[in-house]
Amino acid sequence: MGKRQKPEELEVGSGLVLVDKPAGWTSHDVVGKIRKLAGTRKVGHAGTLDPMATGVLVVGINRATRLLTHIVGVDKTYTATVRLGESTTTDDAEGEVLSTRFANAVTTERIAEAVAALTGEIQQVPSTVSAIKVDGRRAYDRARSGEDVELDSRPVTVHRFDVLDTRRVDGGKLVDIDIEVRVSSGTYVRALARDLGEALETGGHLTALRRTAVGPYSIDQTLTLEQLGEDFGYIGLAEAAAQLFPARQISAEEAEHLRHGRRITASAQSEVTYPAPLLQDAPAKPDIKDTPTPAVLKSRREGLTAAFDPAGELIALLRDIPAKPGASSSPDAAKAAVAGPKAMQAKPELVFAQAD
């Protein structure tokens, strides 16, 4: 994982900490713990996990917190257990049981049909105890204060919805289904459990949830809080950016221009190195068949490129935009601005290195 030191010896830099969040902890609790271990207040996370959930929580420290906004929107993978036969107030095991309906008549064929209907691009109504804001207040705050909360449906994508195992519980009255899903950002697995139960006319809720991947980061890369307390490991800022974005090597002179917020020549006109899973999208490697990671695909959609100086330091995230005569830019980029109406320049969207 790189940059591993004992906390008392740590001279903390900037990077991403991949935590295997334990059950019973909020994401805010984990951030507080990392602040203590890293000795810095500049800590944030890239996507909340419910207290009952475990698994991958991406935490940024120091300058790497500026990468988190580009990680929040990536696809995520979960394993979970859905219990058919009971509906709860929160769509998971932490809520009160609202209704009980026998699930003994549910067949594997019906489960497969209902799962298929919830796969792909669907409309989903989030759980009433979600963190979505309604008139400035979180939905869960309103629900817990006794208000009737009605949320609008919204489009989400369930890329994969696999049934791993099915077990009959309580003499067959209840059915537990182990599933694995890969979903777009904003998808609630609790809502999938609820909707699966309603489709099967039994009701349903989530009894276990574990996030196994966030974009390119998998559960195999995580460390527990206990392990971090003994040996604080994190992915350095430059390495993290290289995993998330196409990389462009720039000269020392270009790096200096970027440090001062100036535009440089367009990345499309330079040699760019793509993370391995993205090679099929690289113009020079059209024959590669590897599937791009969701995080890298998102960075492609955003049009962002990570710029690294000759020493390997991450200088800035760049975006190619139409050239603007008179904009603050390097001499080469200024020449490009008068080359024609289709000329492009690379604008520093986010500068990590400070100007001298």
pLDDT in tens, the chain (356 residues): 544 444 433 456 899 999 999 999 999 999 999 999 999 999 999 988 999 999 999 999 999 999 999 898 889 999 999 999 999 988 999 889 999 999 999 999 999 999 999 999 999 988 765 555 545 555 555 555 555 556 778 999 999 999 999 999 999 899 999 999 999 998 999 999 999 999 999 999 999 999 999 988 999 999 999 999 999 999 999 999 998 899 999 999 999 999 999 999 999 888 888 775 444 444 443 333 344 444 444 545 468 999 999 999 999 999 999 998 888 999 999 887 887 778 899 999 999 977 66
Beta bridge partners of 265: 345
CA–CA distance, 272 with 134 (Å, rounded to integer): 43
How many CB atoms lie under 10 A from the CB of residue 138? 15
pLDDT of 141 reads: 54
Residue 88 C-beta-side C-alpha neighbours within 13 Å: 18
* Alpha-carbon dihedral 344, 349, 353, 356, rounded to 10 degrees: 70
- Minimal CA–CA distance to 53: which of 173, 210, 281, 190? 210
Cα separation of the two ends of the chain: 31
DSSP state of 277: G
Q: Looking at 39-125, list the stretches that DSSP marks H as alpha helix, in order from N- to C-terminal side.
A: 69-72, 108-117
pLDDT of 356 reads: 60
Question: Model-level pTM?
Answer: 0.84
Three-class secondary structure of residue 266 per DSSP: coil
Question: Residues with catalytic annotation?
Answer: 50
pLDDT of 276 reads: 57
